[in-house]
Amino acid sequence: KSNQMWGGRFAAGPDAIMEAINASIGFDRRLAAQDIAGSRAHAAMLAATGILTDKDAEAIREGLLTILSEIEAGEFTFSTALEDIHMNVEARLKEIIGEPAGRLHTGRSRNDQVATDFKLWVRDQLDAADAGLTALIEALLVQAEAGADWVMPGFTHLQTAQPVTWGHHMMAYVEMFGRDLGRVRDARRRMNESPLGAAALAGTSFPINRDMTAEALGFDRPAANSLDAVSDRDFALEFLGVASISAMHLSRFAEELVIWSSAQFRFVTLSDRFSTGSSIMPQKKNPDAAELIRAKIGRIFGANVALMTVMKGLPLAYSKDMQEDKEQVFDAADNWMLALAAMEGMVRDMSANRESLAAAAGSGFSTATDLADWLVRVLGLPFREAHHVTGSLVALAESRGCDLPDLSLEDMTSVHSGITAEVFDVLGVDNSVNSRTSYGGTAPAQVRTQIARWKEILG
Ligand code: ARG
């Protein structure tokens, strides 16, 4: 038996394999609420413009509400033969209200319908990401404020570089997630144009009102070109691009948490709530959440590459290839939201080990740059010479198995005769971080300025 939605010119129904490759209902049922919202807006507009009678529009409205509650209650039977969510809903509407159901699709195509549904879904996810990123930033601000003046080693090449503050390190991630938040908001603004009414590709001869449906669905305006409206998925790609960058940031932070929570570092203690044990090694407390967050970039960026590849080379307007957009975006969205929530929970719960951070901050000749700067400032040495002198002192300390502040004044003057006892004032880590007062620097006063700025931004 041929398809009841489009089977007029067909004598035979599809092969089972055809049905299997064609159907999207297995995943696009997630668009049910958006599909029904879009149909309600479309039906109301058809009535307002006189294309549909008020009586039919009312029957459609009530039928759609019934279907929505059936779906929400898990009582709806989805059919693969009906391909996708759009035809599943419409077929059920016909069962419930009869003939008027067949009038709903006037001036509309599944092409503008699916673009509208999917945009509404992606828009919700951008709003969820907005909330998730905001909550994560707030959790980081709490950490930063508590340890605005706690010293820790700052690294380059994962080798001790210069002392920084815990607050400064936390605030570095606030900046990154803050830019992710900005990208989320930009993407939302750009994508918020309604495809509905573009119909199959060319628009429609019915006197529809696209402003009305756009407004009813919370879009800023109707999309200005019907070909573009049904055939681009750049809104989904931008979502995946933003998600990929954000997942990359999450992954870097997660990596730091994995390193920091190791027995060798002991910079942070993760809570029991965000750790797991080993089935054989009784002592283990593993940072699995951090590891999984670190890994999520794999599938999210994979989705980005997959959909980009699906879209490249597609001629205008709609091609069925585009049905492959949804699973990628669903999976990426689910995992991005999960990673954001898990990271927020981990950050809220974790405690920084102030003593371990301080001990590590003072090791590894972390104040060597301060010593070189002192030679420049006080003795007037050119920086290159000061760098060399300090390097010799580091080598001397290393051969003694001690740190720079443990060298005697005689050791110092043996390398450069001009060095005086005042040099020891700059070899402490607190002095080091307190001195870095340039805008955006690690000095606690600078860190507190940035915390205050972010609190104001978040309101
Ligand atoms: N399930 C389809 C999709 O996800 C809906 C649009 C189908 N349109 C069409 N002309 N076959 O893209």
Cβ–Cβ under 8 Å, residues 247 and 136: no
Q: In 3D, which of 114, 117, 122 has the Cα closest to residue 236?
A: 122
Per-residue confidence (pLDDT) for residue 1, from 0 to 100: 65
The ipTM assigned to this model is 0.97
Distance CA 28, CA 332 (A): 15
Choose which residue among 82, 84, 109, 196 to substitute to test ligand 1 binding: the one with the highest number of ligand atoms within 8 A of its C-beta.
Answer: 84
Q: Which two tokens stand for residue 263?
A: 């027995």
pLDDT of amino acid 72: 97
Give the integer Cα–Cα distance in Å for 117 and 124: 11
- Distance between CA atoms of 41 and 46, rounded to whole angstroms? 9
C-alpha of residue 323 to centroid of ligand 1, in Å = 6
Distinct helix (H) and strand (E) counts, the chain = 18, 6
Residue ranges for the chain with pLDDT beneath 50: none
Sign of CA dihedral 44, 49, 55, 57: negative
Specify the pTM.
0.94
Q: Which tokens belong to 300?
A: 């999210």
The Å distance, Cα 121 to ligand 1 centre, comes to: 16
Residue among 157, 205, 399, 408 flagged as catalytic: 157
**Ligand 1, residues 323, 326, 330: which to mutate, most atoms within 8 A of Cβ?**
323
Q: Which residues line ligand 1 (CB under 6 A)?
A: 24, 28, 84, 110-111, 114, 318, 320, 322-323
Q: Which two tokens stand for residue 171?
A: 């605030």
Query: How far does residue 130's CA lie from ligand 1's centre (Å)?
Result: 29
169: annotated active-site residue: no
Q: Which amino acid is at 303?
A: A
Q: Distance, CA 366 to ligand 1 centroid (Å)? A: 61
Contacts 24+ apart (CB under 8 A), 372-377: 373/426, 374/422, 374/423, 374/426, 375/416, 375/419
What is the residue with the minimal CA distance to atom 7 of ligand 1?
Answer: 110
Rounded to 10 deg, the angle between the 110-146 and 234-260 helix axes is: 30
Rounded Cα distance between 169 and 373, Å, is 23
CA within 13 Å, CB half, 94: 14
